[in-house]
Amino acid sequence: MPDHVLTLQGLTKVFSTDRGPITAVDKVDFDVRGDEFFTMLGPSGCGKTTTLRMIAGLETSTAGKILFNDEDFTRFSAFRRNIGMVFQSYALFPHMTLFENAAYGLRIRGLDNDLIKKKVAEILALLGLDELAERYPADLSGGQQQRVSIARALVYEPGMLLLDEPLANLDAKLRVDMREEIRRIQKELGIMSIYVTHDQEEAMSVSDRLAVFNLGQLMQAGHPEEVYADPTSLFVADFIGKANFFPAHVTNRDGTGAKVSLNSGQELALSRLVEVRESEKADIVDGYDATLMVRPEHVEIGQPGKGEIDCHVRRIQFLGSFIRYIGKCSDATQEVIVDSPRAVPGIEEGSEASVTIHPADARLFHKGDGS
Ligand SMILES: Nc1ncnc2c1ncn2[C@@H]1O[C@H](COP(=O)(O)OP(=O)(O)OP(=O)(O)O)[C@@H](O)[C@H]1O
Ligand SMILES: [Mg+2]
């Protein structure tokens, strides 16, 4: 299979409404290659569906370009783009059997009957639906219906698969099974896939790369572990995974690192000012007010006085493979979350404790930088 490349350059969509223009998608750039599983992630209204619809040719763009293998995609009709699309609502034809629903894309392309039978049988087998071929949508479970809509999108061998929150209507357990299934199938077929969700756990678990959106803008794109470990804005740090935020005052900026003091007066030496945007590094000078971000697994909890920052333990949650301590610290802007692989002796709900931040894993951001 040739290594296809989809490129979005400065893609913008402005809707004109009675209340004035709405910029739904704002100069978005990214590319997706080969059989990549690429996910667009972000809060409601951030422009995910609009971006997907522009790629599919269901919506025109206001500015910018969509290229497929360096060709201008916008000059192709939606039909010629040869894209399979799966929606949140399964949008199956109720009066057709599962077989006929899956065969639809081949019938409108005018394939002969024997070939249709063969291709539909293959795709139904791939999705584990072969036994149900003669059933009607009303007689299928939600998960089975979504499988049929995936079969229908894949049967004519599209060059790309677009999925807009396909699992949103399924229960939690089925969602986890189905997302693995979708990934298995897309890898088996080697088909470029763009997936939309607002569930960050779902995005992290299935994606080769993901892109976090906010207010129509692409905030950051990368491998899930990269975006989790090195978010480039407070918005992304907060949206992907759990995070603790501490107001921090820069006391001594040197070379690549900095010393910061927290509200308690506690000093921390940060060895690298990683992932602060290049343009901002110069801004971080002595006296600068910043926000320190640290993930729950990079904070330790212990007896009062043992760690750097005092805290009051409000809640302890047993979460299977780890234990989550939630406490109030006068230093932090929000509740502090500590994830520990095992229970810490002597620390109970309601007890006083202290926490220690691992400076190597902490990140410094512009104060209040949500963009
Ligand atoms: N046809 C339209 N006319 C006017 N505004 C629109 C239209 N479609 C979308 N919008 C606006 O554009 C913005 C982006 O919408 P979009 O549907 O792309 O968001 P989304 O990220 O898919 O959200 P959700 O997670 O809720 O599905 C929103 O502010 C929305 O109200
Ligand atoms: Mg949407």
Cα–Cα separations (whole angstroms), residue 365 to 237, 310, 356, 358: 10, 23, 19, 16
The more confidently predicted of residues 278 and 342 is: 342
Q: Is the CB of 15 under 6 A from ligand 1?
A: yes
- Could you tell which of 13, 15, 28 is best to mutate to test the pocket of ligand 1, judged by most ligand atoms within 8 Å of the CB? 15
Positive or negative, the CA dihedral 326, 327, 329, 333 is: positive
Ligand 1 center from residue 218 Cα (angstroms): 15
State which ligand 1 atom lies nearest to the alpha carbon of 40: 21
Q: What share of the chain is helix, strand, coil (3-state, %, to 5)?
A: 25, 35, 40
DSSP 96: S
Are 150 and 144 within 8 A, CB to CB?
A: no
Q: Domain segments of the chain: what residues?
A: 5-232, 235-366
Bigger pLDDT: 105 vs 367: 105
* Ligand 1 center from residue 54 Cα (angstroms): 12
Is 85's pLDDT higher than 80?
A: yes
Question: How far is Cα of residue 130 from the mean position of the Cα atoms in its chain?
Answer: 32
Q: What is residue 143's predicted lDDT score, i.e. its pLDDT?
A: 87
Q: pTM higher than 0.95 for the full model?
A: no
Specify the CATH number for 5-232; select among 3.30.565.10, 1.10.10.10, 3.90.550.10, 3.40.50.300.
Answer: 3.40.50.300
* Residue 228: closest CA among 275, 162, 178: 275
Instruction: Answer whether 5-232 and 235-366 agree in fold.
Output: no
Q: Could you tell me the fold of the domain covering 235-366?
A: OB fold (Dihydrolipoamide Acetyltransferase, E2P) (2.40.50)
At 28-75, the pLDDT tens digits run 999 999 999 999 999 999 999 999 999 999 999 999 999 999 999 888
Edge-first strand order for the sheet with 20-33 is 20-33, 5-17, 63-68, 71-72
Both tokens of 7, joined, read 């490129």
| Mean pLDDT, residues 13-30 | 96
Mark out the alpha helices in 163-199 (DSSP H runs): 172-189
- Residue 283's pLDDT band, with cuts at 50, 70 and 90, is low
Res 370 pLDDT > 50: no
pLDDT tier, 275 (very low <50, low <70, confident <90, very high otherwise): very low
- Say if residue 268's pLDDT is above 70: yes
Distance 44 CA to ligand 1 centre (A): 8
